[in-house]
Amino acid sequence: MQISLLQCQSSRDVQANLAFVDSQLKDLPREANEPQLVVLPECCLLFGSHESQQLEYAGSQHQSELKNALASMAKKYQVYFIAGTIPMRADDGRVFSRCYFFDDHGVTLGHYDKLHLFDVEVSDNTKTYRESDTFHPGDHISVIDTPFGKVGLAICYDIRFGDMFRALRLAGADYIALPSAFTKVTGEAHWQVLLQARAIETQCYLLGAGQWGQHNQGSRETWGHSMVVDPWGRVIAERATECGWVQAKVDLAELHRIRQQMPLMGHNRFREPQLK
């Protein structure tokens, strides 16, 4: 199976972002009849200079339009589609940062709402990030069965919480997709080492699709370096800068070999977390 991650430089212009994703899918390098899993980055259709701009698209009409547009692309280009994140209204006036997973007919296989919210201080132009002012955290993990294996979903800041990734592995994940928009400062320091650590610990393929570059006239800057990391911790595909595809062919036989030779889950003597 081929994994294809799309590195983006999304903006506040939803229609321009949709057009970019559509154009890239139209020219997606692929072999005939080969299963294709496409992963988009966090905030793929709306990347504001501040998270509060996600609220503008939280109305029922807008959020349905965004979801339907992504589902239509999955069907049009016949790809399994982990469609980054879009804002979906929560009951408390905030929004969920939601990642939908569509099959190659545009049918929704499942979704995941970001659990860990980025409330931190960063030494960049933005300085203070308060996702919890805008986003409502999710309340469960998500592992979705597909014809090519089980796919766990996580989003950006989640990567720093190893217990969550262990829970995804215990729930059966073979792959863990991570739509992201890491800041340039935090990405340069921690992005690759965290992806490799989570891949080694879980013995899963880690699929890190990121935003890259300066957004909205430089109000935000993201790290890029989208990459596929195998269950041994090797970076098997990467795009450091610029927009475009990161592609790798993966083989679950290699994953099973690694797990058989080093059965980490069976050796772990800590109590297993309670999974929903």
Which residue pairs from 12-17 have beta carbons closer than 8 angstroms and sit at least 24 positions apart in sequence?
12/46, 12/47, 12/48, 12/49, 12/53, 12/216, 14/45, 14/46, 14/57, 14/66, 17/44, 17/45, 17/46, 17/47
| Matching residue, tokens 């928009």 | 181
Alpha-carbon span 43 to 211, nearest angstrom: 8
> Are 187 and 150 a contacting pair, CB within 8 Å?
no
At 59 the pLDDT is 63
Tell me whether residue 156 is one of the annotated catalytic residues: yes
Residues 118/126, Cβ–Cβ less than 8 Å: no
Catalytic residue among 8, 42, 44, 184: 42
- Give the long-range contacts of residues 87-92, CB within 8 A, separation 24 or more: 87/46, 87/54, 87/55, 87/57, 87/58, 87/63, 88/58, 88/63, 88/113, 89/58, 89/59, 89/60, 89/63, 90/136, 92/136
- Tens place of pLDDT per residue across the chain (276 aa): 899 999 999 999 999 999 999 999 999 999 988 999 999 999 999 997 667 778 777 666 677 899 999 999 999 999 999 999 999 999 998 999 999 999 999 999 999 999 999 999 999 988 999 999 999 999 999 999 999 999 999 999 999 999 999 999 999 999 999 999 999 999 999 999 999 999 999 999 999 999 999 999 877 999 999 999 999 999 999 999 999 999 999 999 999 999 999 999 999 988 655 544
Please name which of 139, 143, 56 lies closest in space to residue 95, comparing C-alpha atoms.
56
| Angstrom distance (rounded) from CA 8 to CA 213 | 9
Catalytic member of 156, 184, 204, 221: 156
Q: How far is CA 168 from CA 73, 145, 150, in A?
A: 27, 12, 10
Distance CA 196, CA 183 (A): 18
Does the model's pTM come out above 0.85? Answer: yes
pLDDT of residue 53: 74
Q: Is 114 among the catalytic positions?
A: yes
State the catalytic residue, choosing from 114, 131, 184, 221.
114
Classify residue 74 as left (phi > 0), alpha (psi -120 to 50) or beta: alpha
